[in-house]
Amino acid sequence: MRSAGSGRPPPTSPSGGVVPANGPGQGPGRLSGGLEPGDSRAGDEEAGPGLCRNGWAPAPSPAAGRRRGRFVKKDGHCNVRFVNLGGQGARYLSDLFTTCVDVRWRWMCLLFSCSFLASWLLFGLAFWLIASLHGDLAAPPPPAPCFSHVASFLAAFLFALETQTSIGYGVRSVTEECPAAVAAVVLQCIAGCVLDAFVVGAVMAKMAKPKKRNETLIFSENAVVALRDRRLCLMWRVGNLRRSHLVEAHVRAQLLQPRVTPEGEYIPLDHQDVDVGFDGGTDRIFLVSPITIVHEIDSSSPLYELGRAELARADFELVVILEGMVEATAMTTQCRSSYLPGELLWGHRFEPVLFQRGSQYEVDYRHFHRTYEVPGTPVCSAKELDERAERDSHSPKSSFPDSLTAFCYENELALSCCQEEEETKEGDESEAEEGAASPRDSHQPCL
């Protein structure tokens, strides 16, 4: 059996099957080390990320080989392609309205134009057939035709266009001679109203889709692992770039990783929920300023047995989701992103972004993605920390380091902004006093 984070390949049974990596004392929700290059993968493969620009990031292990591709890209698009769908066209046509809303704008404009053009051609053909059967197209026109001034197919097409769009030039019109012609005009009016409602409704629904709202909802480039309240926590940051609020905003997270069940079944992407405070209600956020989402790495966390070294060899993807209602339209929007193990910075914290300027608060997005290293962060897993704390529970020395310097950088950054503001005010006051004490004859206007 391969231990978590080890580089040895898993043993195989005599029949060739892979022996499960999870032992009797290890639950199915625990993360094991990275799979070998020969193991099957889910999705495309790509090289793991390198060092982070502003701190230490675990580099991919040579034994782990190439990492699999993202299931959810950084911009939120799912890296999934559907193939071999039977009856795909019929299923899409059965839900025509949703299909029209989901298609690209070029196809929507083409559908918009073709639907009206087909309607005019269809009813123009019907009017032309009625006029032809009644003899209106004969050389000497009858004294009472079905349609006045309709002597060709082009004239019938123009009459259909004028009728459906309510243009009414006043030349072509229907008479009382043919009940079929009157019925055709009534039918075209009804069909035109239905077509207008469908096409205009689809266009408006497509324009009002809250998909573009995601462009102003951002996630931090990296997630961090550090101590908070004497517990190892996984943290990432979310922000709203608009002044309009996101109503009923809440966050979710799932960890995706390949897993082998005790029965030997290989699951390419096993979805595990990552607790971000659902029971306590902290998953619902008031997103006025950027907020740091916190996942406490406890015994129920899939990251419980991972230390810094094991994290570098792990093979998983953390998918983070932000949902809420757009304040202007009350439509639900969802913003997604993901983090690979190389994007989890161990022993880092986010820089502060919220500062008080006078009577207001100011959010500086220059610090949104920036992190700083926290000295004294344990490099072992949360499980080892708990075991050490249990062993040292009767010892006067705590197992957790009193990292008082961890807050020095945050305090220094926040206080420096306050000092700059105070120095600016003092400078303005001193300049005003110097101006009042300056000689009166300097730069005085002539009286």
d(CA 59, CA 51): 7
d(CA 160, CA 166): 10
Instruction: Provide CB contacts within 8 A for 349, sequence distance 6+.
Output: 224, 226, 235, 371, 372, 374, 406, 410
Q: What does pLDDT average to over the chain?
A: 79
Q: Return the pLDDT at 424.
A: 60
Q: Return the pLDDT at 395.
A: 63
Domains of the chain: 92-207 (1.10.287.70), 212-422 (2.60.40.1400)
Q: How far is CA 434 from CA 255, 428, 429, 442, in A?
A: 63, 10, 9, 13
Lowest mean pLDDT among 57-71, 217-231, 419-433: 57-71
Q: What is the pLDDT of residues 4-34, one digit of tens each?
A: 444 444 444 444 444 444 444 444 444 444 4
- pLDDT over threshold 90, residue 433: no
Top pLDDT among 363 and 423 is at: 363
Q: How far is CA 281 from CA 248, 325, 333, in A?
A: 12, 18, 20
Instruction: Provide CB contacts within 8 A for 171, sequence distance 6+.
Output: 148, 149
Q: Return the pLDDT at 419.
A: 60
Q: Return the pLDDT at 96.
A: 84
Q: What is the pLDDT of residues 373-393, one digit of tens each?
A: 999 899 999 999 999 888 887
- pLDDT over threshold 50, residue 361: yes
Q: Return the pLDDT at 14.
A: 42
Partner residues linked to 68 by β-bridges = 45
Q: Return the pLDDT at 271.
A: 93
- Which amino acid, 170? G
d(CA 242, CA 213): 9
The whole-model pTM stands at 0.66
Q: What is the pLDDT of residues 88-104, one digit of tens each?
A: 778 888 888 888 888 88
Q: Return the pLDDT at 157.
A: 94
pLDDT band at 307 (very low <50, low <70, confident <90, very high): very high
Which of 130-139, 294-303, 401-410, 432-441 is predicted most confidently? Answer: 294-303
